[in-house]
């Protein structure tokens, strides 16, 4: 296993793009891996490819349509609107894709192993986790142990955003010199609009509020 290589689970959104540049600073060779899982906005894969090209990192795509077909959720089902918030009686929004991070990270680990990579990077965050159980630190730690036991390897899962809120994630992008790239080239919006997005879906709101908070803090410091 090569300590200079890392694989980033990469969607082309704000979080994983920030992680991609974080990984570029921390490791000599960085690989980005995206997934096509039947998401409504498949163009996010092409945006991801373009960001990876700009970042100068190797890019790969895995086709895993099974994940979209297994569960019933608003990210893959075109007949379902995306909830603005967690519905009464539910534990998380209908944009939750059950098992997604479990599948993605497991597949990423197998892929990484083939390439002699043991560092995995994911943009999950417990701070703004919106009720998604597989974004929590306890899950990632548990999975890290499981992957090592499953393949008798020494994977290390890095989660640079785990304890950052959205404003702090923008601050990290700025520190890495990619605030403008993250702002204009990434896709976070549930309605599939890159950059500042549609402005009203939950993902856009979270992203914009974080950016406004960060820019306010930055301007006070100047």
Residue 95 CB, nearest distance to Zn ion (Å)?
12
| Among the listed residues 103, 144, 148, 121, the one whose alpha carbon sits nearest the alpha carbon of residue 57 | 121
Q: Which is nearer to Zn ion, 60 or 194 (CB)?
A: 194
Q: Is the dihedral of CA 71, 113, 24, 29 positive or negative?
A: negative
Residue recorded with tokens 């010199």 = 177
Q: Which of 19, 33, 147, 189 binds Zn ion (CB under 5 A)?
A: 189
Both tokens of 123, joined, read 């943009």
191 binds Zn ion (CB under 5 A): yes
Per DSSP, 77 falls in state -
Place of tokens 């479990």: 102
Tell me the pairing of strands 58-63 and 117-121. Answer: unpaired
Interface stretch with Zn ion, choices 26-34, 59-67, 81-89, 197-205 (CB under 5 A): 197-205
CB of 13 to Zn ion, least distance (A): 12
56: CB partners within 8 A, 6+ apart: none
As a whole number of angstroms, the distance between CA 153 and CA 7 comes to: 15
Site for Zn ion in 104-133 (CB under 5 A): none
Q: Does 198 bind Zn ion (CB under 5 A)?
A: yes
Stretch near Zn ion under the rule CB under 5 A, chosen from 39-47, 112-120, 125-133, 191-199: 191-199
Stretches 55-63, 86-94, 194-202, 206-214: which one binds Zn ion (CB under 5 A)?
194-202
Q: What's the closest the beta carbon of residue 190 comes to Zn ion, in angstroms?
A: 5
Q: Which helix (H) or strand (E) holds 117?
A: strand 117-121
According to the binding rule CB under 5 A, does residue 187 interact with Zn ion?
Answer: no
The sheet with strand 29-36 has its strands ordered as 58-63, 29-36, 2-9, 117-121, 156-158
Q: How far is the CB of 176 from Zn ion (least distance, A)?
A: 24
Q: Tokens in use for 134?
A: 């597989």
Q: Is 201 in the site for Zn ion (CB under 5 A)?
A: yes
Q: How many residues bind Zn ion (CB under 5 A)?
A: 6
Parallel, antiparallel, or unpaired: how do β-strands 2-9 and 58-63 relate?
unpaired
Q: Mark the segment that binds Zn ion (CB under 5 A) among 48-56, 91-99, 186-194, 209-217.
A: 186-194
Q: How far is the CB of 33 from Zn ion (least distance, A)?
A: 25
Minimum distance, C-beta of residue 21 to Zn ion, in the bound complex (Å): 23
Q: Which of 47, 120, 135, 204 binds Zn ion (CB under 5 A)?
A: 204
Residues contributing to the site for Zn ion (CB under 5 A): 189, 191, 197-198, 201, 204
């Amino acid at each position: 296993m090569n300590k200079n290589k890392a694989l980033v689970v990469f969607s082309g959104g704000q979080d994983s793009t920030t992680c991609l540049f974080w990984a570029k600073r921390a490791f000599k060779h960085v690989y980005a891996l995206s997934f096509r899982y039947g998401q409504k906005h498949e163009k996010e894969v092409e945006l991801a490819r373009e960001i990876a090209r700009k970042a100068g990192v190797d890019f790969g795509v895995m086709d895993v349509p099974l994940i979209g077909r297994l569960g019933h959720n608003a990210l893959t089902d075109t007949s379902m609107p995306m909830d603005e918030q967690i519905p009464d009686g539910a534990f998380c929004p209908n944009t939750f894709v059950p098992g997604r991070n479990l599948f993605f990270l497991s597949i990423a680990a197998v892929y990484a192993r083939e390439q002699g990579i043991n560092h995995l990077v994911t943009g999950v965050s417990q701070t703004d986790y919106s009720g998604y159980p597989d974004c929590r630190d306890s899950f990632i730690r548990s999975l890290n142990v499981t992957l090592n036991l499953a393949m008798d390897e020494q994977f290390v899962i890095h989660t640079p955003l785990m304890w950052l809120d959205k404003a702090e994630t923008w601050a990290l992008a700025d520190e890495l010199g990619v605030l403008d790239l993250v702002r204009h080239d990434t896709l976070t919006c549930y309605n599939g609009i890159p950059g500042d997005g549609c402005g009203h879906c939950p993902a856009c709101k979270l992203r914009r509020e974080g950016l406004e908070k960060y820019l306010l803090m930055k301007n006070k410091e100047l």
